[in-house]
Amino acid sequence: MIELNTFTWVAIFAISAAIINSIGIFTVYKKKRWAEKAKTYFMCFAAGVLISTPLTFAFPQAVEKNSYAGFAALIGFLFMFFSNKIIKQRTKQKNLAFGITAAEGIAIHSFVDGIIYAVTFNVSILIGFLAGIGLVIHEFAEGVITFSFLIKGGLSKKKSAIFAFFIAAITTPLGAFIAYPFVSRLNSSVLGLTLGFSVGVLIYLSASHLLPEAIEYEKEHSSWAFLAGVVLALLIVITKMI
């Protein structure tokens, strides 16, 4: 792999996340049906990467750094559960309040996504890279979803696209760049806890956010997309282990 410093890696992935998110917004703006269809595959593939990487690679490393990392993982999972509950609750309402509150939930979520890049790359380039692949791919779906939320909230197409960009796309690099100076100063043991937290977030994202959505709008071959994500992550992890 090319020798880049940690910050450059974080920047590359966090900015790619914002770009892929924007592409999601743009695609659903222009070609709604195509975007909705593609979204499912992106979600399944990302879910495959994001369940395999924490379980086989990131979590053992977190525990090695700090034996309490499992508690941090649980906190990460619960944090995501409650912040996503805000989004889910508001999905049932059909007014602007729904759009705004859902947007808040998504903004928090995207901000945390950004923090994950800072944490994982500071542990190792490989963990950052693996989590980063899954995260960047799920951004496409996130752009599509945010746009659709705002449309449901009663905003015009143009406003929805612009707001979605600020809520979902920009917040990820923002989270990464704000977290980076703090995360890069952490000692190994504290970094183990933040990695544990990140593992909880990623497992939540995969198992409780991406997969159920993908199953609800199941498409032909979507299980294959999920398995492809698992296999890709395992291939990278295993080649690095041996």
Q: How far is the CB of 6 from Zn ion (least distance, A)?
A: 21
Nearer to Zn ion, 69 or 201 (CB): 201
- When CB distances to Zn ion are compared, the closest residue is 113
Binding status of residue 226 toward Zn ion by CB under 5 A: no
Binding status of residue 113 toward Zn ion by CB under 5 A: yes
Please name the residues in contact with 79: beta carbons below 8 A apart, sequence gap of 6 or more.
112, 197, 200, 201
Q: What is the DSSP string of 147-206?
A: HHHHHHTT--HHHHHHHHIIIIITHHHHHHHHHHHHHTT--HHHHHHHHHHHHHHHHIII
Q: How far is the CB of 154 from Zn ion (least distance, A)?
A: 24
Which residues inside 119-158 make contact with Zn ion, applying CB under 5 A? 142
Distance CA 191, CA 210 (A): 26
Q: How far is the CB of 184 from Zn ion (least distance, A)?
A: 22
Binding status of residue 45 toward Zn ion by CB under 5 A: no
Q: How far is the CB of 113 from Zn ion (least distance, A)?
A: 4
| Torsion angle defined by CA atoms of residues 174, 39, 106 and 101, in that order, rounded to the nearest 10 degrees | 150
Nearer to Zn ion, 61 or 172 (CB): 172
Binding-site ranges for Zn ion (CB under 5 A): 113, 142
